Amino acid sequence: MLRLVTYGVRARLSKAAALLLLAAPAQADQVHLLALGDSLTQGYGLIESEGFVPQMRAWLAERGHDVRLVNGGVSGDTTAGGLSRVEWSLTPEIEGMIVALGGNDLLRGLPPEVARENLSGILEVAEAQDVEVLLVGMSAPGNYGADYKAAFDAIYPDLAERYGTLYHPDFLGGLLEDGETPADATDLMQPDGIHPSAEGVARIVATMGPAVEELIARIEE
């Protein structure tokens, strides 16, 4: 008799557990993102946990996002380098991509039209693979002249509109007030004056984070 009663209780509990599982909301799948960039993305000069990708992962996790963010930053990479590796970097599980390239094109004074063509090629690969994109702009310094700056700065909003991507105006925008350059934010930069410190990266992440959340929202639609 005791065995029969115990069995009956277990059966009722099993049915109740099954009903609870059916009623529970489905868990969201993990979102897979790639950050395609240069040393700013890679985390040059910082310990691993202080770099852009780990800090962005932590920022997103604090807001309840289950995200795998792959560090596709290569120090010294130009837009041409990004184009050469984007296809094999977009492994099958990648659903969205942060594109943050152009800083080394600027350091080398490469023609804006070349950077535009390379970035366009990257976005075409993403489009062909049905990968959502957040395009992150770079602001040219004034030492190459007003025409160069205007031509380079226009690349990012133009391509974002053309390809229907999300757009964040400036990777270093979280550090700078209007008209400032990295030289004006020395307390947030490493000694080279080019790469942000850990605190600087934290500000960049806080500024860019909402745009990455928009990218996640597009993927989850």
- If phi > 0 it is left, if psi is from -120 to 50 it is alpha, else beta; for residue 109 that is left
- Per the CB < 8 A criterion, the answer to whether 201 and 81 are in contact is no
- What are 173's two structure tokens? 């925008």
Q: Is 195 a catalytic residue?
A: yes
Tokens of 143: 């030492």
**Which of 38, 39, 105, 139 is an active site residue?**
39
Q: Which residue has the tokens 């380098």?
A: 81
Q: What is the 3-state secondary structure (H, E, C) of 64-96?
A: CCCEEEEEEECCCCCHHHHHHHHHHHCCCCCCE
- C-alpha torsion sign, points 192, 137, 77, 144: negative
C-alpha 200/C-alpha 197 separation (Å) is 5
Specify whether 39 is catalytic.
yes
3-state secondary structure of 164: coil
Catalytic residue among 32, 65, 168, 195: 195
Look up 49 and say whether it is catalytic: no
User: Which residues are tagged catalytic?
Assistant: 39, 192, 195
